Chains A and B, each alone.
Chain A
Amino acid sequence: MEEAGALNAAFSARGLNKKFGSLVVAHEIAFALPQGARHALIGPNGAGKTTLINLVTGVLTPDSGQVVLGGEDITHFAPAQRVRKGLVRTFQINSLFARLTPLEAVTLAVCERRGVAASWWRRLPDFSEAIAEAGEILSSLQLRSCATRVTSELPYGEQRLLEIALALATKPSMLLLDEPAAGVPKDESAQLFKAIEGLSNDLSILFIEHDMDLVFRFASKIIVMAGGRILVEGAPAEIARNALVREVYLGKARHD
């Protein structure tokens, strides 16, 4: 653990451990993301990626170790509290509001963040700033043209983008993208990652992805997990050369 590096980081996990009975699902997990990072988390199925996300977002509490966001120890914060602090995730399987339009869904998230969602007397159209902000978020992900269509009728690729748009509406400083391109055709997934790449530089992003082409193209740093621990962490070129990684992960047949 580099204490100095972790202190400057936008986000850091420090020595996270988690056991279910005798099963070790996370062992001394430590990593840090600087502001604006685009890091990838990879590893075979069962490597502990989901456990790690759950530890970071607060669904699970670590047996020991710390989760630090912007210099603040949030290890014992509830999930919703972490969201309000700026730590937000998206879901591998779409978790959307089927009968709302993207406009309504993103406006809803913006209103919740701005603390006006409890307002029951003023009409929604009167909240011009929230609506304008929702419009900007939708535009930034090329969702503006389908903003007023019902979510359940949108093409799958647009639904994946909406998944990210909802997270952006909470103004996160740290975004966890759980397989953002899951189920998206290959030619569209690169576009989706381009949109992610183009998001604000203030935003630190950690994404889980199985498609190695996308990982090597869009990640500035790659964290490789296996068996509940971090195997190695480094720039794409280093990871590609690493013999251990090739043996454990890249060399074997991938299961998606």
Chain B
Amino acid sequence: MTSLTSAGAGDDLKIWLTKRTRWRGAEIVFWLACLLPYALTPDYLQLASQIAISALFALSLDLLLGYAGVLSLGHAAFFGLGAYTAGLLAAHGWGEPLTGLAAAGLVAGVCGFLASLIVVRFRGLALIMITLGLAQMLASAANSVSWLTGGADGLQGVDVKPLFGVFSFDLWGRTAYAYSLAVLFLVFLLVRRITNSPFGLSLRGIRENGVRMAALGAPNQAHLRKTFTIAAGIAGLAGALLTQTTETVSLQTLGFQKSADVLVMLVLGGVGRLYGGLVGAIIYMIARDQFSDMNPEYWFFWIGLMLIGVVVFLPGGILGGLSLLTRSWKRRAP
């Protein structure tokens, strides 16, 4: 108690802010539960790996949309850039996965920075259309240079070497899932750190009221350029993971559908909550797996229905709904 009274004036405020950055029990449970597929559903490790990759992609969009408030409809451009970078390296003799992954993140990040020079000058509809336009241009360009990308047939001859020279990417996805999950977790730690920093707070400020941020002297465009670059780099990592764990790259990795899918996942799970994209990816990918088993042609009908249900009844996504539920439960049982 003595330290409380003798220390600085902002101590209670500091404690309140510290509480917001603390790891919660549910988070630890979540990450431990990510290991369960090895024990419970060993036949589905390939799917689990794809989920982890989608979750990573959705996480990068969450940093951009959920924190900085920048809605991109062309985020797949950076996913695809990462996918093709890793793919081209592996197809031309550089199959070592970790360096390939790093190169993919770097290429996507640099391209993200270049795109950000244009993108962050705009807001609202114009910004959305520019992200969409850039991605469409890239997809078309990739299609036209089929000697490099393989065009509509996809990139052939992707040969990925074993991880650390030991763990080869097996048919069941044992290595794939461990690899994807590890990368997801490490990047998650990074993004979590960013959102808890002064920079993360400034991003939320831009999201809430960019005009007032400028009136406070904040360099909004510099903040947004940095965010766009980081988000693009992470999307590139996700793309590279997909290439390396499946040993193929198709034009779909760059396509509009990919950009739309990741947005749907994020909205389903909850925007601006870090875990929203992760939960959204799990639900979306499992639903797609199940629905397409039932009816391969019309599975998107059910995804659409689910999406409408969530935005109508749970505007904060599934996690937003859960947090409302726990808050009212805590209030009722003090």
Chain A residues engaging chain B, CB cutoff 8 angstroms? 79-81, 83-84, 88-89, 91, 95-100, 103-105, 107-109, 111-113, 116-125, 127-128, 130-136, 139, 147-148, 166-167, 169-170
Contacts and interface: CB of A to CB of B under 8 A. Distances in A.
Interface residues of B, number: 34
B8 interface: yes
Nearest to B230: A120
A81 B214 CA distance: 10
A98 B194 CA distance: 21
Nearest to B204: A100
Interface of B: 8-10, 13-14, 16-18, 21, 193-194, 196-202, 204-205, 208-209, 211-219, 222-223, 226
A121 B204 contact: no
Most chain A beta-carbon contacts within 10 A, residue among B21, B196, B204, B215:
B215
A90 to B, nearest CB: 9
A89 B215 CA distance: 7
Given A108-B201, A119-B198, A124-B21, A99 B214 contact: no
A89 B197 CA distance: 27
Contacts of A122: 197-198
B13 A103 contact: yes
Given A100-B204, A118-B223, A134-B10, A124 B198 contact: yes
A166 B216 contact: yes
Contact of A120 (B194, B219, B222): B194
Contacts of A96: 208-209, 212
Contacts of B226: 118, 120
Contact of A83 (B13, B194, B215, B222): B215
B212 A112 contact: no
Contacts of B211: 95
A131 B14 contact: yes
A251 B211 CA distance: 37
15 contacts: A79-B215, A95-B215, A97-B209, A97-B212, A99-B204, A100-B208, A103-B17, A113-B216, A117-B198, A118-B222, A120-B199, A123-B193, A127-B198, A132-B10, A135-B10
Contact of B200 (A120, A135, A167): A120
A186 B214 CA distance: 31
Contact of A117 (B194, B202, B212, B215): B202
A147 B198 CA distance: 18
